[in-house]
Structure 1
Amino acid sequence: MSNRANDIARLIEQKAAAKPDFPALTFVHVEPDGSLSDERRNFAELWDRGARLALWLQQQGVAPGDSVVLMLKNRPQFVEAMVAAALTGSIFVPLDTRSMGEKLAYMINHVAATAIIAEAAALPALDTVAEQLGSRPPVLVVDTASAPRNFPAADYAADLPGDAVGLVPVIPDPTSPMYLMFTSGTTGNPKAVVRTHAQYMRGMKGLRALGVDDGDTLYTGLPLCHTNAHSTLAAGLAMELPVVFSRQFTKSRLWDVCRAYRCTVFTLLGGMIPEVFAVPPKSDDRDNPVRLVIASGMPAKLWEAYETRFGVTITEVYGSTENGGTLINRMGDGPRGSMGKPPPTLVAAILDDDDQVCAPMVPGHLCFRKVDGGSEAVTYYRNEKASAEKVTGGWFRSGDIAYADTEGWFYFLHRAGGGIRRNGDFVNATLVETVLAQHPAVRDVFVYGVETAANVAGERTLVAAVVLDTDDALDGIRQWAADHLQRSEIPEIWQLLPAIPKTVSEKPVERDCIALLHAAGLVEPVAAEVPA
């Protein structure tokens, strides 16, 4: 095999040869009794298991360029699947394990999945959409002896080959797709961002610019179906730093995990930030090994309180799934509440609707380009129109509204077009409306976001304005939402209206709905923090 580390498989191969016993990854799970259990992988184990999984994929007919869907929480099998995908030249596609219904069917069909690696919790949703799929690929189940009813299936522990003899390793072109990461999809169907092997390998040590250093132990509770978690994973693998994952985010046990595994750096974003702070203070809050928290969306009013209460330093970072632009406020170099400034290789600007640079303190569109005047192309899988629209006039269009102060520090305001962000992800309001409208008691529905005092900057509370046959049907609607939507898509506020305010073209008028919400006392008005 090649010794070139141009892809993650070859990197793990090299690490396994040089430091086979290095404790690369630890995956922690909080058991029902509150105890912590874990699964661990050193470099040698990652290489061995990844190669055996690659052979299994080839035995199922997976070929270079094919897509392999991963419906896994943070487990070692996820990283083994990344190695296996590189060895087979296939493309791994992480999906949220909570995905269901039409959205799940769309994503699997969109990437034409040739295999699915899933955990037990995802099997009911897969079985439900089986008839909507163009084909039914084999499902490899990682954590149970049970199997899906409507797919050919295998067991990860029992059915993987005992060795990798017979594997025909592929050396992928560095410019070929390594993985597809679906965006949240604020409107229409979610888009899949293409990330190449070269892009991934080039950015593996990106956390060093945020304050991560030799000797650190990294922790994240973010899922590996989110690009943020991959930044942590990549840095650990490339810099030979131990990485600790929680199987899923736990606000109440975060500090216990960090203490137990001696973690020195962790990442937080969006709604996680106030959730962690809202846990009742304890006398030992500062008694922890963490020195650095890398945050995305740290509110200015919580910044100093976090550092004081937990004895940590904050680095704020702005980025996107497309990786078209970055802002860094490294360990508080800039004002609290600022997203930061671009790295030396990038130019960031606030542009108006005519692509003219806005004056300081004037809100506009946050855009990026390289210092040489170019901009790296963004590719959405099988969506040329969206790809072309993301980079125009030499600028990467983030889709966010922001402003810059007189010193060049950038501040986030909101998503352009009113996209609803919750816990760091954007909610597809159209999808939620579609699901709610299918309930027989719903005569009309409009889903939107409203700013409340409890929201992190840039995030909004999800509201469903509904017109019902009878008001007593609301309990049934709530249960319908719980049964058919992901948790992040379930409205927090239900607004019962006799009619939804609309324009003459039948477009709902969001500002009128918000005014009615305020008038009913369901939400207190919040003054927008927009500069004068």
Structure 2
Amino acid sequence: MKNLQPEVPAQMLEEKVEKVPDRTVVTFEYGAFGEEILTYRELFERASRVAAWLRERGVEKGDRVALFLRNYPEFLYAMLGSNMLGAVWVALDPRLIGESLAYPLRDSQSKVVFTTADLLPAIKEAEGFRGEVVYAVKPGMSDLSEEDRKGLEKRGSLTSFSEILDRPFLPVEQQGLPDEPAQIMYTSGTTGNPKGVLWRNRRLDVLVDLLWHYGPDDILYTGLSLSHANAHTVTLIPSLYREIPSVFSVRFTASRIWDICRKYGCTTFSCLGGMIAMIYARPERPDDADHPVRVVVSAGTPAAIWEPFEKRFKVKILEWYGALDGGCVTVKPVGVGPVGSMGRPLDFFTIRIVDEEGNDVPVGQPGELISRPVIGEPKVEYFGKEKESREKTLAGWHRSGDIVRRDEEGWLYFCHRKGEELRKYGEFIQPSLIEKVFCEHPEVREICVYGVPSRGGAPGESDVVAAVATHAETTPDVKAWVSWCRNRLPQSHQPDYFQWVAEIPKTLSQRPLTRLLKADFLAHKGKIYDRRGERWLSFSEGEKGP
């Protein structure tokens, strides 16, 4: 009998095949285009075919294999197939284009890219990549054009995923070992080029017992991308390791989320705070509370809509906090602790909240969250970046870059990312309060509130901008919007400017990319109005602006 080590995901999968081969474990739903349902056996055999193909192409232990896919079964086949060989799979945000895609491909030195036909043009334009490309054609997609095929073949071989899956099944000898490199996920790169965070083969399903407390009757759902750590820690890993059925959508959908949960009987779903706001902003329906969902596992629920969300949809929110590149994990269990809190740290972390000089701040005062494990030293591994890895855990403490505060009972509250505070008239502004008011407007689909330097020039002061995406494109009636806000918000929280956009740009973790909105605002691009209803024209339209 094989000596399988479940710390290695692919070896855990082989154990499941010996125990429950025909148990359904993962469903990928495609809306009008149907679904794909996988058993442990199907998952293992298809991943094995990928592993055999990779081995023939010379991929060895430690080599990197890029996964540039949305949520399709092929992501799992490539991920687990790479893991069988001890290769390192590299998760790439499927929205990347141009240099934002070329950089992680170069940085990781990936030999192979697995993708889908609709994303091939992005790979074609990624300067510098000369590896092999494997692509799948999924429901609703067209096969690649002859022009794209020729362009890609000039830079390396091009293989259809179906050719690999049609091969005879032959098990491969598993090469991975516990604590060896397994995967790389890239940070969002808000302060420079993204950094690849290296994760090793370890049991992450212990978080089920510490945080999620899923039971045998649960069915998990997420629309978060599999290129994001949340989709793995909250949904995929618990599903595979604990034999809990899970459902994945190709991408997050606020309009269909309850219908999906009804169809598949999902009892819990995972999302991020920005998603909570998008779901809440949907027009109310008589069946809002008619669904099987009991608990929403969320990270970053806006305090202003927490209780209204629970009441409207008749669910409970389990709030937690964690980061891709390590540090402490916190949890606020259902029904425990104050609404708006990100929870308390798990027992095996020691935390401090410090000022710019590294001094502990008083209870109730904001400061940077730093942490270390109770046993051992904090460690972060940025792929190929030893200096940055050391700096992240300077003086034996993990530096989160998040500004938080702590109350008398030890509950933590997220304030903002370091350097992103918003102040007006000497008062710190709560963007979530403004966003809640906008979410209640029947025309609002998405909202992001951010600050720009005050026109008055006061140091550290900001003017407030409300970036709004509506359900239908209309001519903005700014005076009506000003009136809506005036009747619902304190004076200090009144938006100074309104910015109408088609959609709010976001990171993979669904945090609004305020820097892009701000860049458009400062360049006067798009529909931007002040409180008087006067439009700010772009420079190209002939006006200098403020």
TM-score by length of 1: 0.78
- 1:450–1:412 Cα change, 3 Å: closer
Matched with 2:349 is 346
Shift of 1:10: 0.7
Determine if contact 1:285/1:309 at 8 Å carries over to the other structure: yes
Residues 252-331 of structure 1: pairs in structure 2 closer than 5 A? 252-331=255-334
Distance 2:362 2:300 in 1: 24
In structure 1, list runs of 5 or more residues that go unmatched: 421-448, 466-477, 499-515, 524-532
Instruction: Work out whether 1:186 is the aligned partner of 2:181.
Output: no
Shift of 1:455: 4.3
Shift of 1:215: 1.6
Shift of 1:486: 8.9
Which of 73, 78, 82 is 1:81 aligned to?
78
- 1:205–1:123 Cα change, 3 Å: same
In structure 2, list runs of 5 or more residues that go unmatched: 423-428, 438-446, 454-498, 537-546
> Deviating runs (4+, > 4 A) in structure 1?
449-457, 459-465, 484-490, 516-523
Distance 1:343 1:378 in 2: 19
Matched with 1:21 is 22
Instruction: Work out whether 1:495 is the aligned partner of 2:495.
Output: no
Residues 233-244 of structure 1: pairs in structure 2 closer than 5 A? 233-244=236-247
Aligned amino acid, residue 495 of structure 1: F
Matched with 1:426 is none
TM-score by length of 2: 0.76
Distance 1:93 1:517 in 2: 44
Which of 37, 42, 47 is 1:40 aligned to?
37
SS at match of 2:415: strand
Matched with 1:97 is 94
Residues 360-371 of structure 1: pairs in structure 2 closer than 5 A? 360-371=363-374
Shift of 1:173: 2.8
Identity of aligned pairs, percent? Answer: 35
Matched with 1:10 is 11
Matched with 2:467 is none
Aligned amino acid, residue 40 of structure 2: F
Determine if contact 1:368/1:397 at 8 Å carries over to the other structure: yes
Determine if contact 1:338/1:410 at 8 Å carries over to the other structure: yes
Which of 392, 395, 398 is 1:396 aligned to?
398
Residues 159-238 of structure 1: pairs in structure 2 closer than 5 A? 159-160=164-165, 162-165=167-170, 168-198=172-202, 201=203, 203-208=204-209, 209-231=211-233, 232-238=235-241
Distance 1:170 1:419 in 2: 49
Matched with 1:433 is none
- 1:158–1:172 Cα change, 3 Å: closer
Shift of 1:72: 0.9
Distance 1:386 1:290 in 2: 41
Which of 420, 426, 432 is 1:418 aligned to?
420
Determine if contact 1:181/1:225 at 8 Å carries over to the other structure: yes
Q: Could you list the per-position Cα deviations for residues 363-404 of structure 1 after superposition, in whole angstroms to 9, with x for gaps in the alignment?
A: 1111111224x4330000011121011112221111100110
CA RMSD of aligned residues (A): 3.1
Matched with 1:155 is 160
Matched with 1:109 is 106
Aligned residues: 451
Distance 2:336 2:274 in 1: 23
- 1:496–1:354 Cα change, 3 Å: closer
Distance 1:77 1:134 in 2: 21
Shift of 1:161: 5.3
Q: Could you list the per-position Cα deviations for residues 348-369 of structure 1 after superposition, in whole angstroms to 9, with x for gaps in the alignment?
A: 2211223222211011111111
- 1:247–1:134 Cα change, 3 Å: closer
Determine if contact 1:464/1:491 at 8 Å carries over to the other structure: no
Shift of 1:451: 4.8
Matched with 1:501 is none
Distance 1:96 1:27 in 2: 18
- 1:400–1:520 Cα change, 3 Å: farther
